[in-house]
Each structure stands twice: as structure tokens, then as C-alpha cells.
Amino acid sequence: MAENKAALWNDGWYRFAHRLPSPNFGARPDAAVVDLIVIHSISLPPGQFGGDEVLALFTNTLDWEAHPYFQTIRGMEVSSHFYIRRNGDLWQFVSCDDRAWHAGKSCYRGRENCNDDSIGVELEGLEGQSFEPAQYETLTHLCAAVPLRYDIRHVAGHEHIAPGRKFDPGPGFDWAHLQQSLGWADRYFP
């Protein structure tokens, strides 16, 4: 098992992800137990896929003048640990040992501030719409690898940790498919 961990993870960086470090992260609290994977959806501008705008947003290099929508998020400093494109390509911005800025005001399993003890995964997509088979395949491999390093007990959507404030990944996300692909018990899922 130790060989598998060493082969897949290096200081919280996943071997099979393209590495693009974000400045938007911080240390986890000393008592944090990383036991939650949070699934999000994002596209920039909303509903447009395939560009590098999400990569730029998470690395503070987005051209705020490139699209009128960007003015509504101007100056935002956010990140996620991972981002899965429509074709299944996997990017990592923050070591999973560190705290990414993906959840915002949140509460799940009786704990506030889910950024403190979760791993954020963004899927290129729009809340309420469907996601691609390649994304589910990459997400399944990633979710299966994360417990080799972290004591994962829960998988939830942004909509579950910030109800009423966030709605992603939304009804187009196939939770049953992810659960079946992972073979994990009901207790892991919302």
C-alpha cells in the first residue's frame, strides 16, 4: 500500500494531474481531518467550454476585460484542488495537503468552513446540465485515489454544503453513476 501512495501522491500533488500552482490557498487548521470531497461545476464565461479562462481564474491571470461577464467576478481570488475538463483532462492547482478556496461559506457533517477539511473538484460544466463520460471516468479515478492519502468519509456537491447559496453541480450530475463506479456505500453520499 505504501508503494501505491508514493506512486500516486507527492506532498499532496496527484501524479496524474497537470500541475498549475495557484497562489490562492492557505494552510489547513492543525486539527483538520480531510474527509470530504466537494464536487463543483464551472465554466467561463458561463456555458462556454474549452478555453483556458478557468485556469486563468484559479491562477489570478484572467483578463477581466476579455468578456463582459468577467466584470461581475473581477478581483475574485478562488481556487480548487482539481479541475476536470469536458474531455477528461485533469488539472491540479493546490496541494491537497493545503486549503484551497473553493467552498466559501459552508457547512456539512456538522462542521462549518468546509475549505478547512475538504478537497475541491471542479467539473467543466454548467449547473443543471449533464457532464461527459470522460469527466466521470477521470472523477472516478481521482475519487478512488484520494482515500489512499486522506481519510475520505463523504462526497457532496457544492449545493449540499452551501444550500440556497450554491446550486452546482446541479440536477445534471449523475450521483448514482459516480457511486456505482466507485462501489462506495450510501453513507458516503448526500
Predicted confidence (pLDDT) per residue in 78-101, tens digit: 999 999 999 999 999 999 999 999
Neighbours of 45 (CB within 10 A): 14
Asked if residue 169 has a cis previous peptide bond (ω within 30° of 0), the answer is yes
C-alpha grid cell, residue 72: 461581475
Cα dihedral 157, 27, 3, 35 sign? negative
Return d(Cα 188, Cα 190) in angstroms, integer.
Answer: 7
* Angle in degrees, 0-180, between the axes of helices 133-145 and 175-182, rounded to the nearest 10: 50
Let me know the angle formed at the C-alpha of 155 by 101 and 142, rounded to the nearest 5 degrees. Answer: 80
pLDDT by residue (tens digit) across 9-50? 999 999 999 999 999 999 999 999 999 999 999 999 999 999
CA distances (Å), 141 to each of 14, 104, 132, 145, 167, in order? 11, 26, 15, 6, 24
Question: 122 catalytic, yes or no?
Answer: yes
Q: Which domains does the chain have, with CATH numbers?
A: 2-188 (3.40.80.10)
How much is the pLDDT for 118?
A: 98
Span 112-134, pLDDT tens digits: 999 999 999 999 999 989 999 99
- 62, 70 Cβ separation under 8 angstroms: yes
Which conformational region is residue 86 in: left (phi greater than 0), alpha (psi within -120 to 50 degrees), or beta? alpha
Selecting among 77, 112, 122, 137, the annotated active-site residue is: 122
Distance, CA of 24 to CA of 99 (rounded, Å)? 9
- Scan for cell 456555458, then name that residue: 47
**With a threshold of 0.75, does the pTM exceed it?**
yes
